[in-house]
Amino acid sequence: MEFEEVKKGLAGVIVDDTAIASTDSSGTLIYRGYVAEELAERSTFEEVAHLVVYGHLPNKKERLKFSNLLSRNSRVAPNIDKIMGLLPRNAPAIDVLRSIVSMMPLNENEDDGKLLEIAAKMPRIMSDWHRLSKGSLPLRSTDGTYAERFYYLLTGSKNKSDARLLEELLILYMEHEFNASTFTLRVAASTLTDPQAAMTAALAAIKGPLHGGANAEILDYLLQMKSTSEARRYVDAKLRKKEKIMGFGHRIYKNKDPRAQYLKERLRVFAAAKGAEKLYDIATAIEDEMWKMKNIPANMDFYAAICLYLMGIDSSFNTPIFAASRSFGWTAHYLEQVSNNKLIRPSSRYIGPVGMHL
């Protein structure tokens, strides 16, 4: 067998073909040929989820069928709340989501149905856990679009304009080719394990602070800043200490993350409407300083975390929200992997001791 040496972290390595999404360092992101920002601006979450999973925008009949599948699968069995009631109150929401997903009973039979049923249940699992962990009763289900239901489950509010910003954010989080959690899912799927196990693997990977866990840490530093000059000093001090600042940098995007720039423009107007212009100015000062000092762009998580904060969404939801949206991308990748499968099993160069004897 011929061996090919690649960079650590598989940086710059193309490991397989995909027809689902494409990103490039100049800052382009397309889902099935459509520019992601255009989809965020002009489509609904259900339309884009159908596009990502099935490869085409739904016609009227397909849109109704897909929306019905998501809404009828949006509830969880009553015993799930009982199980959540036994979990430690301080358990991270992403851990609870992963644990419940790993063992909850499913009604759908086909792979795509099972994956979509899991995706459809995530908002309810997160909401029930959040309220149970605070001693409140779960919110009753509500009608509306996927994003409006999701926003209501996160906040108890039916504010349609905030729900629309959440919908755009969810569309931009939905898919990102072979990011760490998606590749984890594809490795699991390549063993032909079941969809539920593969989704559980992806949920384990997305928790990491280098990946989906970053967005929960951004507000920890951002909300401490009292002025733009303090923000700039903070960045300089962190960089001097060679410490990483959450919400910045990306393996692919070296100039700009198109999702971050889209949300930054939406946030400029949204922050003004919420009387949070100063927070916006501090955020853009941090972005400006990071670019000036190290040419490192803001990634999606930076502006997403601020949008979610101004929507009144508890930051413990940030990573689970990312996961709930990305579970539709994971669905597409599971189906693509198993449709033309080869077990993913790389080799390694052994550098350990040899010739040892007991």
Binding of ligand SDX by 118 (CB under 6 A): no
- Looking at 50, 130, 176, 250, which residue is catalytic? 250
Q: Which of 63, 251, 254, 274 binds ligand SDX (CB under 6 A)?
A: 251
Query: Would residue 350 be called left, alpha or beta, if left means φ above 0 and alpha means ψ between -120 and 50 degrees?
Result: beta
318 binds ligand SDX, rule: CB under 6 A:
no
Considering the rule CB under 6 A, would residue 299 count as an interface residue with ligand SDX?
A: yes
Nearer to ligand SDX, 80 or 115 (CB): 115
Q: Which two tokens stand for residue 180?
A: 């760490």
Closest separation in Å from C-beta 53 to ligand SDX: 17
Q: Nearer Cβ to ligand SDX, position 56 or 294?
A: 294
Q: Which is nearer to ligand SDX, 10 or 83 (CB)?
A: 10
Q: Is residue 250 involved in binding ligand SDX (CB under 6 A)?
A: yes
User: Considering all CA atoms of the chain, what is the largest pairwise distance in Å, rounded to the nearest integer?
Assistant: 72
H-only helix segments in 29-159: 36-42, 45-54, 60-72, 78-85, 93-103, 111-133, 146-155
Among 75, 244, 278, 292, binds ligand SDX (CB under 6 A): 244
Give min distance, CB of 296 to ligand SDX, in A: 5
Residue 42 in contact with ligand SDX, rule: CB under 6 A: no
77 vs 210, which CB is nearer to ligand SDX?
210
Strands 34-35 and 28-31: antiparallel
Name 21's Cβ contacts closer than 8 Å, sequence gap at least 6: 29, 30, 31, 32, 36, 52, 175, 176, 177, 329
Output the CA angle 7-13-18, nearest 5 degrees: 160
Q: How far apart are CA 59 and CA 244, in angstroms?
A: 45
The verdict on 179 binding ligand SDX (CB under 6 A) reads: yes
Q: How deeply is 104 buried, as exposed, middle or buried, from its count of CB atoms within 10 A (0-12, 13-18, 19+)?
A: middle
| Contact between 204 and ligand SDX per CB under 6 A | no
Side by side, which strands form the sheet with 21-24?
21-24, 28-31, 34-35
Give the C-alpha distances (Å, rounded to integers) separating 300 from 135, 151, 164, 218: 33, 19, 17, 11
Of the candidates 126, 199, 214, 321, which one interacts with ligand SDX according to CB under 6 A?
214
Phi, psi torsion values for 49, nearest 5 degrees: -65, -40
Q: Does 232 bind ligand SDX (CB under 6 A)?
A: no
Residue closer to ligand SDX, measured from CB, 145 or 182? 182
Q: Which residue is nearest to ligand SDX (CB)?
A: 249
Nearer to ligand SDX, 176 or 266 (CB): 176
- Annotated catalytic residue 176: no
Give least dist CB 16 to ligand SDX, A: 16
**Which one among 27, 58, 247, 297 touches ligand SDX, defined by CB under 6 A?**
247
Handedness of CA 199, 203, 205, 211 (dihedral sign): positive
Give the tokens for residue 205. Answer: 């990977």
Note whether 297 binds ligand SDX by CB under 6 A.
Answer: no
Residues that bind ligand SDX in the complex, under the rule CB under 6 A: 9, 176, 179, 210-212, 214, 244-251, 294, 296, 299-301
Catalytic residues: 211, 250, 301
